Amino acid sequence: MPLRLATWNINSVRLRIGLVAKLVDEHAPDVLCLQETKCADDHFPLNDIRKLGYAHVAIHGQKGYHGVATFSRFPFVTTAKERWADKDDARHLATTFAAGPLEGVTLHNFYVPAGGDEPDPTINPKFAHKLQFVRELHQWSERIAETDARIMVGDLNIAPDPSDVWSHKQLLRVVSHTPVETEGLDAMRLAGRWVDAVRAHVPHPEKLYSWWSYRAADWEASDRGRRLDHVWASEDVAARSTGVEILKAARGWDRPSDHVPVIVTFG
DNA sequence: ATGGTCGCTAAGCGA
């Protein structure tokens, strides 16, 4: 029985709980990771989540900003809510499956800082913070490089390759696709022996996006997207991934998130 | 050309 794992930057879980239900109704993920829930833990709509069939939940939120949540039809234990880049932001949640097809696998759910607009860490503290976060992800990846049975998903806020953006040239100085970010993410992936489970099924140079700006007059016509949302795995787990879907249609749902769900199936 | 739109929480910030 395969397992379907979805990751989605929902941009407010309370505003879009109906879209979460729509995703579950139409695509039936067994495991669902959300980012940017923007909701303190005591206000999280957990009853709705349980009604959707997720008996196992882990939430790590804060009021108004950031926030990550992991739901599963299979049992897990929460193993970490780490502190990153010298801030108490709710940007990481680790869970380890106790049963089911991914028993023993640790799932890391991340929301990497966006980094502001100015791609210069000396004048933009938000960009400096993002780069520090990526450096810490690199160091963490090095520490766990020899371990198996791991997945990391989430909004990494970096589109690493030219085929992950609508225009490589026009985005080279735009935060999310600057060389210091894309090289930093590549170095982290190599240091951790991570496999990009999405690109394993849709190789470069096919264009692939998971985010389209709210500011476009017509997001679909202009199609100026970026692939900011990722599913990576250690080699043993990646070898079990059998397919991927990026739900572009979700960008056209009523009052959508600017990100769409990414679903990877594991056999 | 240097915007444009969202969501939070109540004018401005973060994305």
- pLDDT tens digit string along A123-180? 999 999 999 999 999 999 999 999 999 999 999 999 999 999 999 999 999 999 999 9
Å between CA of A265 and C1' of B10:
43
Answer whether A211's CB lies under 8 Å from A223's CB.
no
pLDDT over threshold 90, residue A1 = no
CATH number of A3-266: 3.60.10.10
What pTM was estimated for this model as a whole? 0.98
Q: Which pLDDT score is estimated for A209?
A: 98
Catalytic residue among A30, A155, A196, A229: A155
Mean pLDDT of A194-211: 98
Å between CA of A36 and C1' of B12:
19
Contact, A78 CB vs strand B, < 7 Å: no
What is the percent of chain A with per-residue pLDDT over 70, rounded to a whole number? Answer: 100
A155 included as an active-site residue = yes
**If you count DSSP H runs as helices and E runs as strands, how many of each does chain A have, helices first?**
7, 14
A259 included as an active-site residue = yes
E-only strand ranges, A61-213: 68-72, 76-80, 92-97, 106-111, 150-155, 194-196, 211-212
Reference A38, options A53, A22, A18, A17; nearest CA is: A17
Catalytic residue among A92, A129, A177, A259: A259
Å between CA of A215 and C1' of B4:
5
Nearest DNA or RNA nucleotide to A228 (CA to C1'): B15
